[in-house]
Structures are given as structure tokens and as C-alpha cells.
Amino acid sequence: MKNEEMNLEEEQTESEELYEKLVIIIDKGQDPLRIDKFLMSRIEGATRNKIQQAIDDEMVLVNDKTIKNNYKVKPADKVVVFTSHAPESSDIVPENIPLNIAYEDDAILIINKPAGMVVHPGSGNPGGTLVNGVAYYLKQQNPVLDENELSRFGLVHRIDKNTSGLLVMAKNQKAMTDLAKQFFNHTVHRRYMALVWGDFDKDEGTIVAHVGRHQRFRKTFTAYPDGDHGKDAITHYKVLERFNYVTLVECRLETGRTHQIRVHMQLIGHPLFNDDTYGGDKIVKGTVFTRYKQFVENCFELCQRQALHAKELGFVHPVTRKPVHFESELPGDMQAVIEKWRKYIIAK
């Protein structure tokens, strides 16, 4: 289901989380009306079948409670609809793409995504994505799986193409609904490792600034500290290791806006190392003398993307209701560039 006020192409890149929440407060003069009929009049393109399916999937709440399809709205009711802007399953073609699966059970799949892999098909990336690979993997497990069944398997969040690390996918609608709500309520634990330019005055801190599309350069994002554009975004950071010119930090997300860590670090003067979108692909700290410049260029060659890795992911399991926690090692390119900086500082 799609929010009537949502520009789909814009919204697909506004958040790493693939669900938004539409909240409607019923007017005082509203006559009793079945919830499905009411929502059909309020959500563009919504059909009765889609709304009823969303109600069955517990993606529609009234006064914070699940309801039946025959519920009649009344004045002052608060209706909440979770709307997805994940790709439609009919667009997904199974492709034989290797996957690094960190964990799997009947409800969830944890994948360690390599840098360079797009999560799902979109403009400019019709195939070759992680989702295409997952569709193939599922079909190999169960060859009789049809498109309708594949549609019950879904994304609830994503990470950038050139960011490596963990993400979770749901293997059925119940798990997807539960995980989507956890992401939306900011109860999912996400910790990233980043190599950034410059040294920090403090060992830890918090960055609070809205993140949204750049008003002029629409393919990039920027921070809006005054909150006049974009969506609220909060990043907590902690220094792990200092190399004078660059610093290894961990970042914990409260929110999941697109490019959030990259934009927030640029805001405070510490762009990610070799981030060619936000100014980290040139010498930000240090001299431009030949030896140092050559050293930095060698580092760029070792890690040919922004040095960002989604290292930890934790949430409440949608079936067992027990906390689960997953970790992944830093990939080889980041390990290599960090070790090169260590040796460079020791040698000085």
C-alpha cells in the first residue's frame, strides 16, 4: 500500500527502512464506516483486497490495536497504516548470485552483504541485486515456490551499495510485519564501523540533524540541523582508534535515513574515508606533499569505496520473542587500509 501523499521515487531513497507510517485521526463528524471503505477513500491506488490483506497482516492499527476487516471507524479514532515502498515481487527475477548467509531459520535470513552489491532492483539496477540472489536461493530450496509465495519474503531495511555488512530479511509476512514495526520504533540495534577523516576532540558524541535530499543536487543528501527539511536523524559515535589524520569510529543509529552516517560525519567535518559523494575521496587532513599524497592514494586503492561496514545487528526474534544479536568481521579492504594507517603512524 502506498501513502497518497508519497512521491514514490523520492521516498524510496529517503530512508534505509522500507516502511513508513501513515497516521489518520478520524474527524469528529465522521459517520460509522467500515475501515476498508474508509481507507480506500484516503489512500491513492488502494484496493479493498490490498487493505483487507494489510489488516490481516496487522499492518493497520486503530487506537494502537489490531482490528478485523469489519471494524467501523468512529470519531477521534487514530488509524495507523504501515505503508511499504519495497520493490514489488513481480519485478524480481531469480538470479544465481552467491550469498553470504550468516544465519537462517524459518522466519528470518541474515545476510552479510559485500560492498558493491545493490540491495534491490531500481532505476539503473534492474537486476544483479541481493534480492534477485535471494529469490534464486529460495527457489533452489523449494522449486515449486510461486511468485505469490515469494512476495511473502521481504526486505524491511537496506544498506548502501558500497557499504558492506549485515541486513535481515523476513521469510514470511508475520516476520516482516513484526520486524518492520521494530525498525520503525527504533528498537533495532545497529552498529557500524567507519574510518573517517580527521581527529576528534571528544571520545564520543551524538549528532542530531535532519537528513534529506539536497535542494539543488537531487541525487545526494545533506544535513539540515535546523530541521527545516528532511527527516529527523540521530547518530551516536564513539572513537575506537586514532591515527592522527584519520579515525576509526563506531556509529550507532537511532534512525535509518539514507546516507545518514555519511551525511552526519560530513556535517561535523569528518567525511568517510574515500567517500566520493561526500568529499572523502581527497586529502582532507594532512599535507599534500608527494610522499603523504602517494600514501593516501595507495590507501584509496586498497579500499575503493567509502570505508563503512554494518558490523552488528540485533532485534527481538519475531517468533521466539527472544533477543538475537549478529556480528560480522570487517571485510578485507577495510582491514587492510586500517592496518596500513597503523603502520604509517608507528613509522612516523
Instruction: Give the catalytic positions in this structure.
Output: 160
What are the strands, taking DSSP E only, across the chain?
19-25, 33-34, 60-62, 65-66, 72-73, 78-84, 101-104, 108-113, 154-155, 164-170, 189-197, 204-208, 210-213, 221-224, 234-242, 246-253, 308-316, 323-327
* 182-to-39, 189, 190, 281, 347 alpha-carbon distances in Å: 24, 10, 12, 35, 47
109: helix, strand or coil? strand
User: In this structure, are residues 54 and 60 in contact, taking their beta carbons and an 8 Å threshold?
Assistant: yes
Q: Which amino acid is at 53?
A: Q
Beta strands 164-170 and 308-316, pairing class: parallel
d(C-alpha 143, C-alpha 124), whole Å? 29
Between CA 318 and CA 330, with CA 324 as vertex, the angle to 5 degrees is 125
**Residue 4 DSSP code:** T
Chain-centroid distance, C-alpha 228? 23
d(C-alpha 270, C-alpha 285), whole Å? 9
Provide the grid cell at 29: 463528524
* 241-to-111, 161, 193, 245, 272 alpha-carbon distances in Å: 27, 26, 11, 11, 15
Between CA 282 and CA 290, with CA 287 as vertex, the angle to 5 degrees is 85
DSSP H stretches of helix in 185-321: 260-267, 290-302
Contacts of 334 (CB under 8 A, 6+ apart): 164, 193, 195, 303, 307, 309
